[in-house]
Amino acid sequence: MTTAKDIMHPGAQWIPAHETLDRAAQMMRDLNVGALPIADQNERLTGIITDRDIVVGCVAMGHDPSEVTCGEMAKGTPRWIEADADVGAVLEEMESHQIRRLPVIEDKRLVGMISEADLAQHLSDEQLKAFCASVYAAS
């Protein structure tokens, strides 16, 4: 059985909820990623911030990214998957919530992220087609 841990990109890093969006953008640049999980002081997932969130939700609205925190931008219920979950559960979680990135948790700690690129490398053509139809059809 292929698990979330098998297909994830390891080494994902949190950004604390109190950090500003300009710091998040710097981290994304340095890590060459488009999203960061947001954590509270106890390293519990409180959301995900994307590069698009920073541009559309902050900069385009005329706000200063050095004054807006990641926690202020976090919306909705954060989604995640256990490292030992099978690929079917990963796809179900991502498709049912129409999300493109999914944090992977093991022993209550962030161990990686699953992105569309990870799915493209590890899924069959049929699985990938179904994922794209589900996530992008309603976007």
pLDDT tens-digit map of 93-113? 998 998 889 999 999 889 999
Model pLDDT, residue 7: 95
| Residue (of 64, 72, 75) closest to 22 by Cα position | 64
Model pLDDT, residue 139: 52
- Residue 43 belongs to domain with CATH number: 3.10.580.10
Q: Which two tokens stand for residue 125?
A: 């053509």
Backbone dihedral angles phi then psi of residue 49, each to the nearest 5 degrees: -110, 135
What's the number of domains the chain is made of?
Answer: 1
Q: Which two tokens stand for residue 20?
A: 């500003």
Helix then strand then coil, % of the chain, to nearest 5:
40, 25, 35
Query: Is there a contact between 11 and 112 (Cβ–Cβ < 8 Å)?
Result: yes
C-alpha count within 13 angstroms, C-beta hemisphere, residue 48: 22
Q: Which residue has the tokens 């493209």?
A: 120
Alpha-carbon torsion (13, 19, 21, 27), positive or negative? negative
For residue 124, give its domain range.
4-137
pTM for the model stands at: 0.86
Residue 12 and residue 18: Cα distance in Å, rounded? 18
Q: pLDDT, tens digit, for every residue of 70-92?
A: 999 987 788 999 999 999 999 99
